[in-house]
Structure 1
Amino acid sequence: MPKQISVISSVKDTYKEEFVANQLVEAQINPSLSPKMRHDLIDVSYTYKNAFASDNEPLGTIKGNEVDITLNIDRQYPPVLRRPAYPASPRPREALEKHI
């Protein structure tokens, strides 16, 4: 039995090494972390790797937690709501228009 466990763990370690080499290559892990903290961080990152976006799988690929991001260039509010909070009276408005 121990041989099976070591074979399974070595296969997992191979996958983890590939994950670190491919996915975490650009990650900037704090150099002041202890080796154990760094190892724990890599373990958590590997265990929950599906929670992170990648080049092939964009944000929102976790089933049950999809994210819909809509980029909007339209103005959100009608012109009536976009008026200044304190509109200028005619005299100050003329002075403002001279400077603008």
Structure 2
Amino acid sequence: MQYIERVLSKFAPINLKISLKECNFGQQELLALGHKLSGLSLAIDQNKVAEILQKPVPKNIKEMQSFLGFSSYYRKHIKNLAHITSSIYKVCPKDIVFENTKERRDAYERIKYELTNAPVLILPEFELPFKFYIDAACSQGLGAALHKIQILGSEPREGVIFYISRQLRDSESMFRATQTELLFLVWNL
């Protein structure tokens, strides 16, 4: 309760008002902004995922861009999203006629699968060690995962804090794997 009072006391000097009917106090879990938040974790709101699962494969560029925007919002939950979406992004410029190829349909279905099976992200605890994994072996993009070592009972276990990825630029796609991994380390710093 003391933390709530501290936060609310900061609102008055800047004339910020809150609506009590929009507030949730003392909750173990909270659905907000498409996420399910708990004390130590962040998960995708399954109601949002259910909406996407019911939608058919996009039929035009606008529908595909809408889907890409949705999946990009949850990019922290999807390992190597840039690699998965690389075939889809090739069709997004306005001067290209949209063709729903097998490769694009497969990418669409894979993203839907990844969204429905996305890990629950854990919040960092800075007292415990972290592990940072990078994957720059593919010519499509860069991917990484930040993990935290958790002690559950007496056994250590790794949990995902977030995934990050991006596509390679044309000039970067000619790098060898070791050069690409170094590029990725520089990009993340």
TM-score using structure 1 length = 0.30
Structure with bigger strand share is: 2
Larger RCO: 1 or 2 (CA < 8 Å, sep 6+): 2
Q: Which has the larger radius of gyration?
A: 1
Structure with bigger helix share is: 1
